[in-house]
Amino acid sequence: MQGSLALDLLLGLALGYVAGTFGITGGVIAVPILGFLGFSQQLAQGTSLVMQLPVGVIALWQYARRSRLNGRLMAATAGGSAIATFVGAHLAVHLAEQPMRKGFAIFLAALATFTIFSAFWRQVLSRRLQWPSASAIGASGGFCSGLFGVGGATFTIPLFALLFGLSQTEAQGMGLAVVLPAIAIAIPTYTLAGFADWRAGLILGIGAAFSVGFGVALAHKLPQRALRVALCMILYVGALGLWFRG
């Protein structure tokens, strides 16, 4: 990303605010934007991972301060994500760019559909599972994070709300607990394969680090259903943009 430092930092600020608001690390937005700026799909994913690590750490700390997070549930999900992330990341760096981009677009659309479904049918589907079941959710979220560089938190947030009866903000905090170890595992894989622009990722991460706390504060003021619907719209826009980019 060869824009001015100020513009790169501003983009990071915007990504951090969105990430904090929706309990994600910003990759679902950063990857499409980097793609439109000329990055290959894998390079956009790897670069966004560099940005997502500091954003995720700060966001999780902010959510932990404001919401009650279940320690056993957090440990089970984080543990389940580790191996699956490694497998997904190694698969991602060996795939061709266009299938990866098309697959990422489909993935975003699927996430959006699942998110909107969970927003309106939560009471029907809620099952109140116990914490050991969270390992499977962590594994699925970790694989998504490794394969697409994003999506672990976005995918697991509705599952935590539906299956464990968590509030939206509690689920968002738990989703961050899933994605952080996944990001830490995926970054070396993308970097060693030459698919990470550390300069761009660090600048975006610095900008995002300053604004993520404001997004978390906003998340605790907005209606839960409104948060999910807004995230759904963002995902659909990103999916359409990627699909028709060429």
Q: How many helices (H) and strands (E) does the chain have?
A: 10, 0
Round the average pLDDT of the chain to a whole number and report it. 79
Residue holding tokens 């738990």?
Answer: 174
Q: What is the pLDDT of residues 168-184, one digit of tens each?
A: 777 777 777 777 888 88
Q: Virtual CA dihedral for 116, 69, 20, 107, nearest 10 degrees? A: -40
pLDDT band at 196 (very low <50, low <70, confident <90, very high): very high
| 191: pLDDT strictly greater than 90 | yes
Q: How far apart are CA 148 and CA 238, in angstroms?
A: 14
205 and 27 in contact (C-beta within 8 Å)? no
221-240: buried (b, 16+ CB within 10 Å) or exposed (e) per residue? Answer: eeebeebbeebbebbbebbe
Residue pLDDT, tens place only, 77-128 = 777 777 788 888 888 888 887 787 788 788 778 878 877 776 666 554 445 6
Give the model's pLDDT for residue 194: 92
**What's the number of CA atoms in the CB half-sphere (13 Å) around residue 128?**
1
Please give the structure tokens belonging to residue 82.
């580790």
**3-state secondary structure (DSSP) of residue 225:** helix
* 12-26 tens-digit pLDDT: 898 888 877 876 777
pLDDT of res. 2 = 52
Per-residue confidence (pLDDT) for residue 192, from 0 to 100: 92
Handedness of CA 187, 190, 192, 194 (dihedral sign): negative
Task: Transcribe 69-133 into DSSP letters.
Answer: --HHHHHHHHHHHHHHHHHHHHHHTTS-HHHHHHHHHHHHHHHHHHHHHHHHHHHHH-----GGG
Any idea where the domains of the chain sit in the sequence? 5-243
Tell me what pLDDT residue 124 has: 46
Q: Which of 18-27, 30-39, 235-244 has the highest mean pLDDT?
A: 30-39
- What is the average pLDDT across 190-206? 92
Say what the pTM is.
0.77
| Residue 20, amino acid | G
Q: What is the pLDDT of residues 117-139, one digit of tens each?
A: 766 665 544 456 565 667 777 78
Q: What pLDDT shows up at residue 230?
A: 81
